[in-house]
Copies of this chain bind each other. A is one copy, B any other.
Amino acid sequence: MKANAFYAQSGGVTSVINASACGVIETARKHKSRIGKVYAGRNGILGALHEEMIDTSAESAAAIAALRHTPGGAFGSARYKLKGLDQNKAEYERLIEVFKAHDIGYFFYNGGGDSMDTANKVAEMSRKMRFPVTCIGVPKTVDNDLPFTDTCPGFGSVAKYVAVSTKEAALDVASMALTSTKVFILEVMGRHAGWIAAAGGLAGETPADAPHVILFPEIPFDQAAFLARVKASVANFGYCVVVVSEGTRHPDGRFLADAGTRDAFGHTQLGGVAATVAEIVRSELKLKYHYAIADYLQRSARHIAAKTDVAQAYAVGQKAVEFALAGENAIMPIIVRSSDKPYRWTIDRVKLSRVANREKTMPRSFITRDGFGITAACRRYLEPLIQGEDYPPYRQGLPSYVALRNQPVAKRLADFVIK
Q: Which residues of A contact B (CB under 8 A)?
A: 9, 12-13, 15, 43, 46, 70-80, 160, 163-165, 167-176, 178-181, 184, 186, 202-203, 259-265, 267, 269-272, 274-275, 278-279, 282-283, 290-297, 299-304, 306, 383, 386-389, 391, 394, 396-399, 401
A-B contact pairs, 8 of them (CB 8 A): A43-B179, A160-B397, A167-B398, A171-B401, A202-B397, A261-B264, A270-B279, A270-B282
Can you tell how many copies of this chain the complex includes? 2
Identity of the chain B residue whose Cβ is nearest the Cβ of A76 in the assembled complex: B175
Q: Contacts of A13 on B, CB cut-off 8 Å?
A: 172, 175-176
Q: How far is the CB of A42 from chain B (nearest CB, A)?
A: 9
**In chain B, what residue has the closest Cβ to A306?**
B397
Q: Which of chain B's residues have a CB closer than 8 A to the CB of A300?
A: 168-169, 171-172
A264 touches B260 (CB 8 A): yes
Given A15-B168, A71-B172, A171-B72 in contact, is the A294-B296 Cβ separation under 8 Å? no
Q: From A44, which residue of chain B is reached at the shortest CB distance? A: B179
Q: Is A304 in contact with B306, judged by CB distance below 8 angstroms?
A: no
Contacts of A73 in B (CB 8 A): 172, 175-176
Residues of B with C-beta under 8 A to A172: 13, 71-73, 296, 299-300
Assuming the contacts A79-B180, A292-B295, A397-B163, asked whether A175 and B74 have C-beta atoms less than 8 A apart, the reply is yes
Q: How far is the CB of A1 from chain B (nearest CB, A)?
A: 33
Contact of A178 among B78, B164, B175, B299 (CB under 8 A): B78
